[in-house]
């Protein structure tokens, strides 16, 4: 048995397996349109997880990750269709660019917390959006850039769907491992008390810098997948609403639950896609859903569910 001082978390096989089964079985009965919606859900779940690492574990709410995500999308599409380069190199460059952009954001934002962190990351994201909108010669301005399609071996939507599923699952595991590491524990320490952390000898700024930059890798992978998925990029990919959407997915799913990102991403993207069939006022429905979440389950859907099951289990145990 593991000692009490060495809380070794078990690998979250149930969570990863249910994601694999639910999404993996989807093509058996879903239409090609529904599969593409599921594909989008997976990509945005990865973006939401990258935000959740900061929001749920380090206690910093970022509104700049949409721009980091979109920067990767831009680079990938630019490299393939304008520069005519290899798509595989493009993916690498996209993630690299997102990571570098995140490290610049991090340098500027690590010393602040709370609402200042929120506003600073928001402003940095706006700068990226402004550059993409105005630098017409490179980004195509409002018209954006159209891609030239996916590489041959993942061109088929079903193959690409499974590629996304496997990539997102691998990164889910990496992110989970990351937040459970000794370094991840220091992030939770910073969330709970930054002053105590520095009095214990931690350079909280360098920890936040590393954490922010690493979440940039995750957001960059999501953005690169999105480039292959959407085959088109415009300033709306890097705009503020992208960051807000990612954050809302993390919140609806449950901040600090990591895998709640899948639930939140599914809830929001499904609403967007299916409610819009019935009413053009779907953002209103979305708004009501957020209000409902905040009132009835502020810990998010997955957070509330796990609390419910845990308390139910405890009650059962007390019974003689």
Binding residue for other proteins, selected from 32, 86, 143, 203, defined by CB under 8 A: 203
Per CB under 8 A, 204 contacts other proteins: yes
Per CB under 8 A, 193 contacts other proteins: yes
Report CA dihedral (200, 254, 173, 155) to the nearest 10 degrees: -140
Query: In Å, what is the CA distance from 82 to each residue of 137, 226, 237, 269?
Result: 11, 17, 18, 30
Q: Are 43 and 168 in contact (CB under 8 A)?
A: yes
Per CB under 8 A, 8 contacts other proteins: yes
Q: Compute the least distance from the CB of residue 257 to other proteins, in Å.
A: 14
User: Which C-beta is closer to other proteins: that of 32 or that of 206?
Assistant: 206
Binding residue for other proteins, selected from 126, 210, 240, 275, defined by CB under 8 A: 210
Q: Please give the structure tokens belonging to residue 129.
A: 């959006």
| Distance from the Cα of residue 308 to its chain's centroid | 25
146 pairs with which residues across the strands?
232
| Distance from the Cα of residue 118 to its chain's centroid | 16
Using the contact rule CB under 8 A, the part of the chain among 86-94, 128-136, 194-202, 292-300 near other proteins is 194-202
Per CB under 8 A, 197 contacts other proteins: yes
Q: Which residues contact 187 (CB under 8 A, 6 or more apart)?
A: 53, 57, 58, 179, 207, 211
Interhelix angle 65-77/204-230, rounded to 10 degrees, is 50
Q: Report the alpha-carbon distance of residue 130 to residue 193 in Å, rounded.
A: 35
Binding residue for other proteins, selected from 98, 214, 233, 255, defined by CB under 8 A: 214
Size of the site for other proteins (CB under 8 A): 34
Binding residue for other proteins, selected from 31, 137, 195, 316, defined by CB under 8 A: 195
Q: Compute the least distance from the CB of residue 210 to other proteins, in Å.
A: 7
Using the contact rule CB under 8 A, the part of the chain among 7-15, 223-231, 282-290, 295-303 near other proteins is 7-15
Using the contact rule CB under 8 A, the part of the chain among 2-10, 104-112, 222-230, 278-286 near other proteins is 2-10
Q: Compute the least distance from the CB of residue 250 to other proteins, in Å.
A: 18
User: Which C-beta is closer to other proteins: that of 106 or that of 128?
Assistant: 106
Q: Report the alpha-carbon distance of residue 199 to residue 215 in Å, rounded.
A: 26
Q: Which residue in the block uniquely carries the two structure tokens 């931690």?
A: 202
Q: Compute the least distance from the CB of residue 316 to other proteins, in Å.
A: 20
Q: Which residues contact 198 (CB under 8 A, 6 or more apart)?
A: 204
Q: Are 220 and 67 in contact (CB under 8 A)?
A: no
Q: Report the alpha-carbon distance of residue 251 to residue 247 in Å, rounded.
A: 6
Q: Compute the least distance from the CB of residue 175 to other proteins, in Å.
A: 11
Per CB under 8 A, 314 contacts other proteins: no
> By CB under 8 A, what part of segment 127-186 binds other proteins?
177-178, 180-183, 185-186
Minimal CA–CA distance to 156: which of 265, 28, 74, 39? 39
Residues found near other proteins in the complex (CB under 8 A) = 2-9, 177-178, 180-183, 185-186, 188-189, 191-193, 195-204, 207, 210, 214
């Amino acid at each position: 048995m593991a000692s009490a001082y060495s809380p070794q978390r078990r690998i979250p096989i149930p969570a990863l397996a249910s994601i694999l089964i639910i999404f993996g079985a989807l093509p058996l009965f879903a239409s090609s349109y529904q599969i593409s919606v599921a594909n989008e859900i997976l990509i945005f779940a990865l973006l939401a997880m990258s935000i959740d690492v900061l929001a749920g574990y380090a206690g910093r709410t970022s509104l700049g990750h949409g721009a980091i995500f979109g920067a990767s999308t831009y680079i990938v599409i630019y490299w393939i269709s304008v520069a005519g380069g290899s798509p595989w190199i493009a993916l690498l460059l996209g993630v690299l660019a997102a990571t570098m952009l995140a490290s610049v954001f991090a340098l500027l934002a690590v010393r602040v917390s709370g609402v200042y962190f929120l506003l600073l990351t928001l402003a940095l994201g706006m700068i990226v959006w402004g550059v993409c909108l105005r630098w017409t010669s490179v980004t195509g301005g409002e018209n954006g850039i159209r891609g030239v399609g996916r590489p041959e071996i993942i061109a088929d939507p079903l193959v690409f769907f499974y590629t996304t599923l496997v990539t997102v699952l691998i990164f889910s595991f990496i992110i989970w491992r990351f937040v459970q590491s000794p370094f991840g524990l220091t992030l939770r320490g910073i969330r709970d008390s930054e002053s105590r952390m520095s009095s214990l000898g931690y350079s909280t700024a360098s920890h936040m810098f590393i954490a922010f930059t690493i979440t940039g890798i995750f957001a960059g992978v999501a953005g690169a997948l999105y480039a292959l998925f959407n085959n088109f990029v415009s300033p709306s990919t890097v705009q503020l609403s992208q960051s807000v959407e990612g954050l809302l997915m993390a919140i609806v799913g449950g901040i600090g639950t990591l895998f709640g990102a899948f639930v939140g991403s599914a809830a929001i993207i499904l609403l967007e896609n299916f409610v819009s069939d019935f009413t053009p006022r779907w953002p209103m429905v979305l708004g009501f859903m957020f209000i409902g979440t905040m009132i009835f389950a502020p810990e998010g859907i997955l957070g509330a569910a796990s609390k419910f099951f845990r308390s139910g289990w405890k009650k059962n145990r007390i019974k003689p």
